[in-house]
Amino acid sequence: MEGHVARLVLPFLTRRAVSKEALRTLEKYVSERSRGIMLVGDEVSQVCYSFFMDESNGQALRLEALKCIGYVLSMRRSNDVMAILNNVMAPHLKDLEDDDSGFSDEAQEERKFQINIFACLFASLNYKGEGSVDRSRDSPCVIIFQQVFPVFLRIIEKPDTPTALTDKVCDAVRCAISNLPPESLSEALPLVSQLLSTAMFTNPAPACALAKSAVLANVAV
């Protein structure tokens, strides 16, 4: 049933007048990660990847498409996941690492979008339901966190970074902490503490939310 619905919805993603509604419908079904959805997972991933990579689509909708990709990949082996996601992440990670574009309104919006990419991946790649893959050692969330955290830390520690960007970084790290496997928290939490040592003074509201999530995650272990 779910796979049939997904197949019906996919062609509508490219129709601008209804793409928003089509993505919402698709995400609703794909987020359940049912067996029927997994049977059409390759089709969902391919269509959503094309939609995400098309910069003429709105950024919010591109992130919705990325979530759908993450939900499908959350049921795959980590090697397969990272082989696909490296194509998605690499250019955006490089832009964040090499950012010398200043902080014009346009540049800020692009950087916020790029930070949101990682938040979406943290949120959608984590799955512990029936049929989930055992990733105690090589969780994609852990691999992505290891790659992007040094970049996030530099953004936070850079004195002239706009608050809007550092707020986004705190939100993305909070999403990561909430979705990392428990056995990886002992390595991740000291890094988060390092980030918080700056963010508590520059971005108190999102930093406090991040600190709360870190404490709750540690207690739950």
User: How far apart, in whole angstroms, are the C-alpha atoms of residue 59 and residue 43?
Assistant: 22
Q: Which two tokens stand for residue 101?
A: 């574009």
Whether 42 and 111 share a structural domain: no
User: How far apart, in whole angstroms, are the C-alpha atoms of residue 221 and residue 208?
Assistant: 20
Whether 70 and 95 share a structural domain: no
User: How far apart, in whole angstroms, are the C-alpha atoms of residue 207 and residue 204?
Assistant: 5
Q: What's the domain range around 184?
A: 78-220
Instruction: List strand residue ranges (DSSP E) for the chain, in order.
Output: none
pLDDT tens figures, 166-206 = 999 999 999 999 999 888 998 999 999 999 999 999 889 99
> What is the three-class DSSP state of 150?
helix
Whether 168 and 96 share a structural domain: yes
Backbone φ and ψ of 129, nearest 5° = -80, -175
Q: Mutual orientation of helices 59-73 and 19-30 as an angle, nearest 10°? A: 20
User: How far apart, in whole angstroms, are the C-alpha atoms of residue 50 and residue 208?
Assistant: 37
pTM: 0.90
Whether 213 and 162 share a structural domain: yes
Total domain count, the chain: 2
Whether 70 and 84 share a structural domain: no
| Of 17 and 132, the one with more pLDDT | 17
Where a domain ends, among 75, 106, 138? Answer: 75
pLDDT tens figures, 38-69 = 899 999 999 999 999 999 999 999 999 999 99
Backbone φ and ψ of 81, nearest 5° = -60, -50
Distance of CA 207 to the CA centre of its chain: 19
Whether 56 and 134 share a structural domain: no
Where a domain ends, among 54, 75, 96? Answer: 75
Whether 83 and 24 share a structural domain: no
Closest among 41, 48, 40, 46 to 13, alpha carbons compared? 48
